[in-house]
Amino acid sequence: MSNQNLATITQNLRKAFLSQKTRKLDWRYSQLKAIKKLITENKEQITAAVKKDLGKHDFEIHQTEIVMPQTECEEAMSHLESWTKTEKVYTPIPLKPASSHIIKDPLGVVLIISPWNYPVNLALVPLIGAISAGNCALLKVSRHSYNVGELLYKLCTKYLDPECFAFDFEGGAQYITDLLEFKWDHIFFTGSVNVGRIVYQAAAKFLTPVTLELGGKNPCIIDKDVDIAFAAKRIMWGKCWNAGQTCIGLDYLIVHKSVVAKLVDEFKVVLKEFYGDDIKASSSYARVISKQHTERLSKLFSNGEVVIGGEADVESRYISPTVILNPDMDSPLMQDEIFGPVLPILTYENIDDALALIQSRPHALTLYLFSRDQKIQDQVLVGTQSGSVMLNDVLLHFTNPALPFGGVGDSGIGSYHGRLTFDLFTHRRALVQSTTKKFLDLPFRYPPYTQFADKV
């Protein structure tokens, strides 16, 4: 798309915003209802498109791509009135008889850029927030999940108000570079740290506020006192969910030396339980998004001792669940975000060493700890920083709309889900309503100030 076309699109979105239609609650309800309908009426098509792109089971698709956006939509609809209500706040005596309020203003025209790994969820959930807050939006979904992108484009264009939204699923890096040449009132970006930096720099030129939902390497510590079979089950489930292509996925394990061998054995047991003898043939195991990423992942096998898996088939985008012991710390396996079903294991004897390793790296999006020991739990909580923490389980914190979802430091700026998505697309505008009654106008503030000399 040419910049000329983009200029027309952004102008039209601005015109629609200035018409004030998005400020009306009726309009917001109608668009939220439309999103809900879009999902409900097209569940099968959505499932089929995600399956084509990521080859995963209907159950996984249902949990992340259908249920979560639906829940967020319902949550927004049931709280919209209270979220949007002007709040009356305290007014100090010198300001009286004025009253003070906070108005919930929409930001205007916002840009949402979403990735391919949960292509419906990570596009629609921010959009639901933008709508609830009364914004117009351009939603740019990833072209790597092409089948979902094409479908979302078709459905969003059909179900949503065409004056207030624009969509794209075909543009690549150049298209995003072009989009960033325009002034937006907010940019909501989900993607890698590197592209996040590019977006942040481009936004700075216009002083545009950003939300950056980024990635990184999420550590998982396994203490010696846990039920290893139970921990292995949860960890391997989390690692294989969406074939490891999850921003909050476990990137690497730091395991107490005394339980490493047992953990590897238990991984073998649970993989058999989950997928049988032929993982490749299991309908419960997803595929990598592209041949290029499959190739990238297969090259990670040479960075340590492969103790489980290590199989790749680039043509069918298959990478087996792979566990690697003692990885080379300078290798891509331990330097770059893995974003696939490859799991390196480091070991520790003293928890302080595990914490020192984590603290020497950029802050992760999520940190996991398996331990029954309250002291260790406390030590890990105060001795590390990360966007979120989950103790004794994995991934599921993402599904609670009452929790802020976002990073800290290199893993992102800002957080969303539930009410917070509404808040981030809203400007809390201060309003003081003063009086026009002249007799209430006390003379104390007007010059000459010499009359107040004894008050200082």
Q: Rank residues 115 and 309 by Cβ distance to ligand NAD and give the closer one.
A: 115
Which of 106, 108, 215, 310 binds ligand NAD (CB under 6 A)? It is: 215
Number of H helices, E strands in the chain: 16, 20
| Cβ pair 441, 148 in contact under 8 A | no
Sign of CA dihedral 91, 92, 96, 97: positive
8 A C-beta contact, residue 292 and residue 259: no
Return the closest-CA partner of residue 81 out of 22, 21, 25, 131.
25
Nearer to ligand NAD, 176 or 346 (CB): 176
- 65, 75, 213, 337: which one is catalytic? 213
Strands 405-406 and 252-256: unpaired
Residue of 122, 156, 324, 367 that binds ligand NAD (CB under 6 A): 122
Q: How far is the CB of 109 from ligand NAD (least distance, A)?
A: 19
Determine the interface stretch with ligand NAD among 66-74, 99-107, 170-178, 351-359 (rule: CB under 6 A). 170-178
Beta bridge partners of 110: 137, 186
Q: Are 274 and 59 in contact (CB under 8 A)?
A: no
> In the complex, what is the shortest distance from the CB of residue 18 to ligand NAD, in angstroms, rounded to a whole number?
29
Report the site for ligand NAD in 389-448 (rule: CB under 6 A). 407, 412
CB 197 to ligand NAD: min, Å? 10
Give me the residue label for tokens 């992108």: 149
Q: Which of 17, 116, 241, 422 binds ligand NAD (CB under 6 A)?
A: 116
**Which residue spans within 285-434 are E strands per DSSP?**
305-308, 312-313, 318-319, 322-325, 342-348, 364-370, 386-391, 405-406, 412-413, 415-416, 426-433
Residues 354-393, one symbol each (x = binds ligand NAD by CB under 6 A, - = not), give: -----------x----------------------------
Q: Between 30 and 177, name the residue whose CB sits nearer to ligand NAD.
A: 177
Query: What is the rounded end-to-end Cα distance, in angstroms, of the chain?
Result: 64
Candidate list 10, 147, 190, 303; residue touching ligand NAD; CB under 6 A:
190
CA separation for the pair 137, 126 (Å, rounded): 10
69 binds ligand NAD (CB under 6 A): no
Give exposure, 143-180, as e/b (b: 16+ Cβ within 10 Å): bbbbbbbebbbebbeebbeeebbbbbbebeeeebebbb
Q: Annotated catalytic, 164?
A: no
Q: How far is the CB of 172 from ligand NAD (least distance, A)?
A: 5
Q: Which is nearer to ligand NAD, 304 or 414 (CB)?
A: 414
Q: Specify whether 247 is catalytic.
A: yes
Answer yes or no whether residue 192 interacts with ligand NAD by CB under 6 A: yes
341 vs 412 by CB, closer to ligand NAD: 412
- Least distance from ligand NAD to the Cβ atom of residue 350, Å: 30
Check residue 214 for interaction with ligand NAD (CB under 6 A). yes
> Judged by CB, which is closer to ligand NAD: 115, or 238?
115
Q: From 71-79, 80-88, 192-200, 344-352, give the range in contact with ligand NAD by CB under 6 A.
A: 192-200
CB atoms within 10 A of CB 254: 22
Pairing of strands 219-222, 252-256: parallel
Among 182, 184, 339, 368, binds ligand NAD (CB under 6 A): 339
Q: In this chain, which stretch among 4-12, 100-108, 169-177, 266-274 interacts with ligand NAD, using CB under 6 A? A: 169-177
| Stretch of 148-156, 168-176, 236-244, 307-315 lying at the interface with ligand NAD (CB under 6 A) | 168-176
In the region spanning residues 234 to 293, those forming contacts with ligand NAD, defined by CB under 6 A, are 247
Q: How far is CA 6 from CA 154, 337, 434, in A?
A: 19, 33, 43
H helices present in 19-140, as ranges:
25-41, 43-54, 58-61, 68-84, 121-132
What is the C-alpha R_g of the chain?
A: 25
- Report whether 144 contacts 52 (CB < 8 A): no
Q: Return the active site residues.
A: 213, 247
Binding site for ligand NAD (CB under 6 A): 113, 115-117, 122, 142, 172-173, 176-177, 190-192, 195, 198, 213-215, 247, 337, 339, 365, 407, 412
